[in-house]
Structure 1
Amino acid sequence: MTDRSSAERADELVDAWDEMREYVDHEPQTYERLVVGCARKLAADPSGPLAYSWTLGLVLALPYLATRKPEDGDVGAAFDAAQAVDRALRDAHCTHQGHPFQSDLEGELGNMADVLRELADNGRRWTDLRPRDAWLCPRNVAGHARVVMESLRPGSADDVPPFLPFEDRYELEGLTAIMEGYPLARTFDVAWDLSFAASALQEAADDELAGRVFVATSVAWYVEAEADDADAQELVDELAGAFERAIGLLDDGPCPHGAHPDLPIDTTEALWVGMHLASARGRAAYEKWPEPWAPPLDTALCPAFVAVTARDSLTRLRND
């Protein structure tokens, strides 16, 4: 018989983790205590029957942890606990052909709280397409622990599938919300938030340039369609200067491609492309988990294509 009080307590904890995932800076002190408590429980029993729950709790905490500094105590506690789980469970006997941690984390994260609720209560109907025992498998728990490690300290667990860095995901979610007309609570000033696309392009290293051009392009499209002229002029000037710098750095000579696909015409889809191309880990996720509307990686990164996009964006800004 299911212990309803235990199930209810588990639900409350999962609700708190899910809130932390969704509202990363809503209650930072509460979230800090939540992460530290979770990490302590996990470190105390890294191979115990509830290790799966505490580990997935830390996975749900990753969007919040991306807003913290590496030296913060909750970040260190989460990493140490995840490392203890990996050491305890990664070599456990297993007969599964694959595990949930090997899936696309971007797609998984929104459903993970529901999975946790179902795992915690045998009385609930199982809705995930993969076997329940694959989620509970010690090697899957260890795999999710390595996801936590890799997110907090890139390079510490490079055998997990790639995923967009959570600090980039934070930026992507904020800009997407602005462009879709519902700025997040953390958006103090829309123009200020949008201006970061220009400053990031001004400072972009060579391997970030393509992604940052596309992010700035999506912002330029949004400004062209939505922003009031009087309020947008400073932002337009910042974007124009950033595009000029990018054009000067790009080689737009002959390329091996017969043609280049267009960026998605949807502003938020173009933004998604740009944010993924702005980092090595994002590019790896882009290639492994492709979207049907996104241009292939090799042509999206072509300097000639990026230069044409930057010049077109600059022309449109100057003509408005």
Structure 2
Amino acid sequence: MTERSPAARADELIDAWEEMSEHVDDDPQTYERLVIECAHELAADRRGPLACRWTLGLVLALPYLSTRNPRDDDFEAAFDAARAADRAQRDAPCTHQGHPFQDNFEGELGNMADVMRDLADDGRSWTNSRPRDAWLCPRNVAGYARVVMESLRPGSASDVPPFLPFRDRYDLETLTAIMEGYPLSRTYDVAWDLSFAASALQSAADDELAGRVFVAAAVAWYVESEGDDSDARELVDELAAAFERAIGLLHDDACPHATHPDLPSDTTQALWVGMHLASARGRAAYETWPEPWAPPLHTALCSAFVAATARDSLTRLRTS
């Protein structure tokens, strides 16, 4: 039997990495082995021609790794390999004006596997906005290695562009799928998953409060029509209590704004706004790559606007 070359093995794994990125809960034992293999290959080839593919493999593993414990073997192996790749390549000579890792990471992640397939095959047409050699550039490899590091251990690589933390992305995808009527396979109890919004708001710190109010508001809109269901009624009570706490913490007597924009009327868009505003990295990504339908950051964070949203949501819950 002919042994596969490292390049052939890396190409073979692209489909598996893509599946791991999209279905983070499906096969954790297999995913753990995939991450460890990828990390070991990157550590051994940190300056080699395959370093880009192994590094992007770890990038695709980030949604899965966000569900892991920082002490898990695959988590530690991924971080150590990324750190080694960064140290090996970040100071390499370069003439590029910019690199893909500096672009909107949230927008690029869904296309990453296709980019890897294009990079692996010189015969495929190149359609990415960044040139092929910028993707393969050692400094881009180091940049994506730092994205891995920063995702796994926030604060370890502060010079990468902001992106929504993957743990929040996981929750956003779970709640969005419920609201769109197609719960993910990891959702066994819809009411229990939705109750995350109430518990997160109930315990939110000051700098998380606006985001958590908006997430809970989106969930409240969704459950309004479920008032006769016993599970929904319990969830309504949990949400109401959380909104009452938030209103008590918010101060809206010194607002400089003449008017406030509404939250998007689309429930999943409102959920997106809230989840991004619930963390410092999410807020930075929100401001760096604004969506046309999302309210500007400075008004979205206004205490008066947040308090009004909480009061409106509470009123709607009490009358539903």
> How many pairs were matched up?
317
CA distance in 2, matches of 1:12, 1:21: 15
* CA-CA distance at 1:10 after TM superposition: 4.3
1:69-218 residue pairs with structure 2 within 5 A? Answer: 69-218=69-218
CA distance in 2, matches of 1:7, 1:93: 24
The amino acid across from 1:44 in the alignment is A
CA distance in 2, matches of 1:19, 1:214: 31
Contact 2:82–2:146 under 8 Å retained in 1: yes
Contact 1:7–1:121 under 8 Å retained in 2: no
* Alignment-derived partner of residue 296 in structure 2: 296
Q: Say whether 1:223 aligns with 2:223.
A: yes
Contact 2:198–2:239 under 8 Å retained in 1: yes
* Alignment-derived partner of residue 274 in structure 1: 274
CA distance in 2, matches of 1:136, 1:280: 30
Deviations 1:242-278 (A, max 9, x none): 0000000000112111111000000000000000000
Contact 1:150–1:158 under 8 Å retained in 2: yes
Contact 2:79–2:148 under 8 Å retained in 1: yes
CA distance in 1, matches of 2:268, 2:6: 42
SS of residue matched to 1:128:
coil
CA distance in 2, matches of 1:123, 1:45: 24
Q: Say whether 1:308 aligns with 2:308.
A: yes
CA distance in 2, matches of 1:95, 1:102: 15
* Alignment-derived partner of residue 254 in structure 2: 254
Contact 1:199–1:242 under 8 Å retained in 2: yes
1:41-52 residue pairs with structure 2 within 5 A? Answer: 41-52=41-52
The amino acid across from 2:140 in the alignment is N
The amino acid across from 1:252 in the alignment is D
* Alignment-derived partner of residue 61 in structure 2: 61
Contact 2:162–2:282 under 8 Å retained in 1: yes
Deviations 1:205-253 (A, max 9, x none): 0000000000000000000145653331000000000000000000011
* Alignment-derived partner of residue 13 in structure 1: 13
* CA-CA distance at 1:12 after TM superposition: 2.8
The amino acid across from 1:205 in the alignment is A
CA distance in 2, matches of 1:305, 1:72: 42
SS of residue matched to 2:246:
helix
Q: TM-score, normalised to structure 2's length? A: 0.97
CA distance in 2, matches of 1:92, 1:270: 43
CA distance in 2, matches of 1:6, 1:157: 29
CA distance in 2, matches of 1:6, 1:104: 30
Contact 2:10–2:54 under 8 Å retained in 1: no
* CA-CA distance at 1:124 after TM superposition: 1.2
CA distance in 1, matches of 2:227, 2:178: 11
CA distance in 1, matches of 2:120, 2:34: 19
What percentage of aligned pairs have identical amino acids? 80
Q: TM-score, normalised to structure 1's length? A: 0.97
CA distance in 1, matches of 2:222, 2:228: 11
The amino acid across from 2:21 in the alignment is R
Contact 2:10–2:53 under 8 Å retained in 1: no
